[in-house]
A = this chain, B = another copy of it.
């Protein structure tokens, strides 16, 4: 017998992503978001949901561009800070000790210190309620050399942070389980 927990955002795990935008004066800003995920393979697209009250919301609507920067576990304290402070009140890049890099593809800044960044062009906005879902087409992915294995990001090298919404905590990535699209073949009917 299962217990009913009510209507709540308890999907697990959620990612910890840092959204990069420029404000109307051209100043780079950052905000941590956990409400998002990949939403399409062709074109490659990612969603991030933001409250209208955030500074990033207005920036994103105006610039029609954003970056999804993936912090490593080494940046957990900084990533948390970027989720509790507002860019209206301070230069969050400076306060966090991070370096903005200008994208050559979209009108949004990358975080130089983070191992992985998706450069996104806004293609859809869907107001759902407290949050508006922004869908960005991924125009390029920039990765630090040290997280790549055979040219692709390896989870145990990038060491992204996981968010657990119920207990309000961050977690590390653990051990590898096995290969996707192969692990379950044993259960396919014999032909």
Contacts and interface: CB of A to CB of B under 8 A. Distances in A.
Interface of A: 1-15, 17, 34-47, 49, 68, 70, 73, 76-85, 89-90, 95-96, 110, 116-118, 123-124, 126, 128-131, 133, 135, 137-145, 148-156, 158, 160-189
Contacts of A43: 7, 128-129
B84 A188 contact: yes
Contacts of A7: 43-44, 137-141
Contacts of A161: 177
Nearest to A153: B166
| Chain multiplicity (copies) | 2
Contacts of A96: 187
Q: Most B CB atoms within 10 A — which of A89, A126, A141, A145? A: A141
Q: Most B CB atoms within 10 A — which of A3, A9, A36, A129? A: A9
Q: Most B CB atoms within 10 A — which of A2, A135, A171, A174? A: A2
Contact of A45 (B129, B154, B185, B186): B129
